[in-house]
């Protein structure tokens, strides 16, 4: 059997601090579950600018194209804020997404029982919440041409962006969403504005086509995006998987993730086309940034990064049982009352990044035998 491969890009700020804890989970899986993972570690973002003058070197990009998965920490920070846009730390991330062709962004929104009070919604609305938002990431109005700001003959300025999608762009993201639905509760809600946008009508027709021809067993419903935004705060548990275009998905995924509380708890995956090895290109990363306000203090929450790695176990490495083990360990540690500062509640024990990592590894020991 060939070894699985991963490129680790811890990045800046709290990135290296949270990725260090992921390393400990991987070491545990290697020791106790025979998970052979070949890891290369490299620079991205501000630290790459400091060393090489660019946020991502060609060599690192080439490695990212070779491996089964990339795991990223976070990039950016005040030190590099005044750089020109073309060489800012975030350009490293954008280059990875673009050259790896990562067209699908997966964001789970899961509400842990022990953190139910961290949500701004009533406990009964969010308790047990488990939804997945699939957002199209490389098309639509953020990339459509023509675009720009022009001055009209009468002197007014006009801003223009173009919402554009093709059959294939819609079908490929729909397939990712249908496949995910099959591994969950088999329900998919597709969102658009077919009532007022032609691109929305095409979206609806193509998602329906993929359903009828390839995934007739999945329970598909269509919903206008504005209604979906409302339903997400009214009754979010009605959803399982939601698929959306780039613009509506941007908004719906942020809305859904905030149902569950802290930034330090939220993982994500970005998925591309299948390569020669039959695996989809993939990059996993916590949603949070480099948190310069707490970097270097050893107090960041490592759970978003660890959960991002659990997504890699499930979606790239076909190790769903190990993913469940990691997720269950996190649930148990939270139930035991340990909290990093970002999820601190009265009566609970405030712990550092490392102590949270220790506790998760100890729980793995208990659960994994």
Catalytic residues: 142, 193, 226, 250, 254
**Residue 250 in contact with ligand NAD, rule: CB under 6 A:** no
Residues 6+ apart with CB under 8 A from 95: 55, 56, 61
**Residue 290 in contact with ligand NAD, rule: CB under 6 A:** yes
**Residue 304 in contact with ligand NAD, rule: CB under 6 A:** yes
**Residue 92 in contact with ligand NAD, rule: CB under 6 A:** no
**Residue 263 in contact with ligand NAD, rule: CB under 6 A:** yes
Dist CA 55 CA 43 (whole Å):
8
Size of the site for ligand NAD (CB under 6 A): 23
Burial class (CB in 10 A: 0-12, 13-18, 19+), 186: middle
Contact with ligand NAD (CB under 6 A): which of 121, 202, 294, 312?
Answer: 294
Binding string to ligand NAD for residues 129 to 168, with x set by CB under 6 A, is what?
----------------------------------------
Query: Which contacts (CB < 8 Å, 24+ apart) does range 51-56 have?
Result: 53/87, 54/87, 54/92, 55/87, 55/88, 55/89, 55/90, 55/91, 55/92, 55/93, 55/95, 56/91, 56/92, 56/95, 56/96
Q: Which is closer to ligand NAD, CB of 212 or CB of 254?
A: 254
**Residue 283 in contact with ligand NAD, rule: CB under 6 A:** no
**Residue 288 in contact with ligand NAD, rule: CB under 6 A:** yes
Q: Which is closer to ligand NAD, CB of 119 or CB of 290?
A: 290
Contact range with ligand NAD by CB under 6 A, out of 30-38, 68-76, 147-155, 273-281: 68-76
**Residue 223 in contact with ligand NAD, rule: CB under 6 A:** no
Instruction: Determine phi and psi for 243, rounding to 5 degrees.
Output: -115, 140
Sign of CA dihedral 62, 55, 52, 294: negative
Rounded to the nearest whole angstrom, what is the least distance from the CB of residue 261 to ligand NAD in the complex?
12
Contact range with ligand NAD by CB under 6 A, out of 75-83, 95-103, 175-183, 233-241: 75-83
Dist CA 76 CA 55 (whole Å):
10
Contact range with ligand NAD by CB under 6 A, out of 52-60, 208-216, 284-292, 354-362: 284-292
Task: Note whether 35 and 27 are within 8 A (CB).
Answer: no
**Residue 301 in contact with ligand NAD, rule: CB under 6 A:** yes
Contact with ligand NAD (CB under 6 A): which of 74, 174, 228, 232?
Answer: 74
Contact with ligand NAD (CB under 6 A): which of 82, 293, 366, 369?
Answer: 293
Contact range with ligand NAD by CB under 6 A, out of 124-132, 246-254, 300-308, 361-369: 300-308
Task: Note whether 316 and 279 are within 8 A (CB).
Answer: yes
Q: Which of residues 93-112 bind ligand NAD (CB under 6 A)?
A: 93
Instruction: Determine phi and psi for 317, rounding to 5 degrees.
Output: -95, 5
Q: Which is closer to ligand NAD, CB of 77 or CB of 200?
A: 77
Find the distance separating the first CA and the last CA of the chain, reported in whole Å.
25
Greatest pairwise CA separation for the chain in angstroms? 75
Dist CA 45 CA 10 (whole Å):
9
Dist CA 218 CA 292 (whole Å):
44
For residue 6, give the 3-state DSSP assignment. strand
Residues contributing to the site for ligand NAD (CB under 6 A): 14, 18, 74-77, 90, 93, 263-264, 285, 288-294, 300-301, 304, 340, 342
């Amino acid at each position: 059997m060939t070894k699985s491969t991963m490129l680790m890009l811890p990045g800046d700020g709290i990135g290296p601090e949270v990725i260090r804890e992921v390393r400990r989970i991987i070491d545990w899986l290697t020791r106790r579950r025979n998970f052979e993972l070949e890891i290369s570690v490299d620079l991205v973002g501000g630290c790459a600018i400091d060393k090489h003058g660019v946020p991502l070197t060609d060599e690192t990009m080439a490695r990212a194209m070779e491996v089964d998965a990339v795991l990223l920490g976070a990039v950016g920070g005040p030190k590099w804020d005044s750089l020109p846009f073309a060489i800012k730390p975030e350009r490293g991330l954008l280059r990875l997404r673009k050259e790896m062709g990562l067209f699908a962004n997966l964001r789970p929104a899961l509400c842990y029982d022990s953190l139910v009070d961290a949500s701004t919604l009533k406990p009964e609305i969010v308790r047990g919440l488990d939804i997945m938002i699939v957002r199209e990431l490389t098309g639509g109005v953020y990339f459509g041409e023509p675009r720009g700001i022009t001055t009209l003959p009468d002197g007014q300025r006009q801003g223009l962006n173009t919402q554009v999608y093709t059959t294939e762009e819609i079908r490929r993201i729909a397939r990712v969403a249908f496949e995910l639905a099959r591994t969950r509760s088999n329900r998919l809600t597709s969102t658009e504005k077919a009532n007022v946008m032609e691109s929305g009508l095409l979206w609806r027709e193509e998602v329906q086509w993929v359903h009828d021809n390839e995934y007739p067993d999945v329970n598909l419903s269509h919903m206008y995006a504005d209604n979906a935004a409302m339903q997400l705060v009214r009754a979010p548990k009605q959803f399982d998987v939601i698929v959306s275009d780039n613009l509506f998905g941007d908004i719906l995924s942020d809305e859904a993730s905030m149902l569950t509380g802290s930034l330090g708890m939220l993982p994500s995956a970005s998925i591309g086309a299948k390569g020669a090895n039959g695996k989809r290109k993939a990059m996993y990363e916590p949603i949070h940034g480099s948190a310069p306000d707490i970097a270097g203090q050893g107090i960041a929450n490592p759970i978003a990064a660890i959960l991002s790695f659990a997504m890699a176990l499930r979606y790239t490495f076909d190790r769903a049982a190990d993913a469940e083990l990691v997720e269950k360990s996190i649930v148990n540690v939270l139930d035991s009352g340990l909290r990093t500062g970002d999820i601190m509640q009265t009566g609970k024990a405030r712990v550092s990044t490392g102590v949270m990592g220790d506790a998760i590894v100890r729980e793995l020991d208990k659960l994994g035998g």
